[in-house]
Homo-oligomer: A and B are copies of this chain.
Amino acid sequence: MTNTTSPVPPNEILILSQTAVYALKAVLHLAEQAAHAPLRVDDITKAVGVPRNYLSKVLHALAREGILVSARGPKGGFQLAGRADELFLGEVIAQFDDIAAGSGCLLGRERCSDESPCAAHQRWRDVSNAVRQFLDQTTIADLTHSGARLELEHLGVD
């Protein structure tokens, strides 16, 4: 009844949890503002469309990890702790999603039976490694408008 159009349809495959996506959105917003003053939770909320108190908890977790710095009271808010081009997506989501797990076999057996090392399983490992590599090698700056622009120009794409 109080439903605000649920963000994730049932059965939708997500790879990243909703919470991790919230974290990425918020951090990306902070990076794009490149603000001198901290941004308040309420402003970030409006910008990325995430429930206020929930986002607050997410941001606080990021602050505890040293990814953001937070300050209370007037003039308070959140800021990036470091450079956006040195902050990898994997770091941002690490507190929310256990990406290291699931490294194994598609079918959840710890290791593909030694009897049959199974070529397809190897291909699956390649796939899930691609996910991991993306998260570990892409920085927040790569996702910002300016970052993307730079990369595109650098590649000669119009």
Residues of A within 8 A of B (CB): 7, 9, 11-17, 21, 24-25, 28, 96-99, 101-102, 106-108, 115-121, 123-124, 126-128, 130-131, 134, 138, 142-143, 145, 147-149, 151-152, 155, 157
Roughly how many angstroms separate A107 CA and B23 CA in the complex, as a whole number?
Answer: 10
Copies in the complex: 2
Roughly how many angstroms separate A152 CA and B115 CA in the complex, as a whole number?
Answer: 12
* Residues in B whose Cβ lies below 8 Å from that of A97: 11, 13
User: Is B107 a contact partner of A120 (Cβ separation < 8 A)?
Assistant: no
Q: How far is the CB of A129 from chain B (nearest CB, A)?
A: 10
Give the contacting residue for A152; candidates B107, B108, B119, B123; CB below 8 A: B119
